[in-house]
Amino acid sequence: MYGGTELVGEGILKGMAETARNFFGSFVSKDRLTTVQYPEERELQIEVARDFPFLVYDGADWQQGMRCVACQICEKECPPKCIFIEKSKDKKPDANGKPQFYPAVFDIDISVCMSCQICVEVCPFDAIKMDVDYSLSTDDRFGGLLLNKQRLSKSNDYYRKIHPTEAAEVDARLAGERARQEAKAKAAAEATLATAAVQPASGESR
């Protein structure tokens, strides 16, 4: 069925030649030395890297500037159901001064999370994003991996630092929305002013 080989032991010789070539090759070309001496030197995470979600806040105070409005879409869409949200009873003003609900409780169990990024994709408020921090080991297997609202909150500056391109897009979109809202509010205010101005005039004429 198959033809035989010409030389007995040819395979072994070829293999040994290959080993020798690589052994001595390592002394010559330095690009073979790809090992990173981990704790001392660390490679930077690439921009699209993702591990666990965090909550973005604007400004300096994490409670004031939290973008999340507790709409609970991410909680519903999360495939392994690792997000737990409790909506607040009252409303607090958000970054634009508009009263909004806020999450009274927002927990993510990162021992369950599978880093799929679906919460980020479904969030209509750009409130939840993926972190790149990988040094998360802890000796507390329950509390240490169940992140609460405070531990999840990270500033927008941090987000800009880890995902510059994506953050620039989000900032531009949010700024555009804010400008549109302001223009709308201004137009509405002008309209009420105008009607207010018109009304007394019409009263006079009557």
Partner 1 sequence: MNIATVPPAPLDSEPVTEPSKEQLLEISMGPQHPSTHGVFRMKVVLDGERVVRLKPVFGYLHRNHEKIAESVTYLGSMPYTDRLDYMCSITNNWGYALAVEKLAGIEVPERAEYLRVICGELTRLQNHACLIGFLMQDMGSTGTPLMYAFREREKILDLFESLTGARMMCNYMRFGGCRVDLPAGWLDRAKKVIADFPRFLDEYERLLVSNEILMDRTQEVGVLSRELAVSAGISGPMARASGVDYDIRKVDHYSIYDRFTFRVPLGSHGDVYDRFMVRLLEMRESVGILQQATRAIPAGPIVDPKMKIRGFRPKPGEAYGRIESPKGELGFYLISDGSPNPYRYRVRPPSLINLTVLEDLCLGRNVADIVAILGSVDIVLGEVDR
* Contact residues for partner 1, defined by CB under 8 A: 1-2, 5, 8-12, 14-15, 18-19, 46, 48-50, 73, 77-79, 114-118, 121-122, 124, 130
Q: Mind giving me the DSSP string for 33-48?
A: -----TTTS-PPPPTT
**Minimum CB–partner distance for residue 87 and partner 1 (Å):** 18
CB closer to partner 1 out of 28 and 46: 46
> Kind of pairing, strands 53-57 and 128-130?
antiparallel
Instruction: Tell me the closest approach of the beta carbon of residue 92 to partner 1, in angstroms.
Output: 25
**Closer CB to partner 1, 9 or 143, in the complex:** 9
Taking alpha carbons only, the member of 53, 92, 91, 95 closest to residue 74 is 53
Shorter beta-carbon distance to partner 1: residue 12 or 60: 12
d(CA 42, CA 107): 30
Place of tokens 């999450």: 103
Q: At its nearest, how many Å lie between partner 1 and the CB of residue 104?
A: 23
Shortest spacing between CB 63 and partner 1, in angstroms = 27
Report, in Å, the least distance between residue 27 CB and partner 1. 18
Please name the residues in contact with 186: beta carbons below 8 A apart, sequence gap of 6 or more.
none
Q: What residue has token string 């992140």?
A: 147
Residue 12 vs 36, nearer CB to partner 1: 12
Closest CA to 144 of 52, 28, 67, 57: 52
Q: Which is nearer to partner 1, 67 or 149 (CB)?
A: 67
Alpha carbons within 13 angstroms on the beta-carbon side of residue 180 total 6
Q: Kindly report the number of other CB atoms within 10 A of residue 113's CB atom.
A: 19
Q: How far is the CB of 164 from partner 1 (least distance, A)?
A: 13
Q: Using the minimum distance from each CB to partner 1, give the nearer residue, 45 or 64.
A: 45
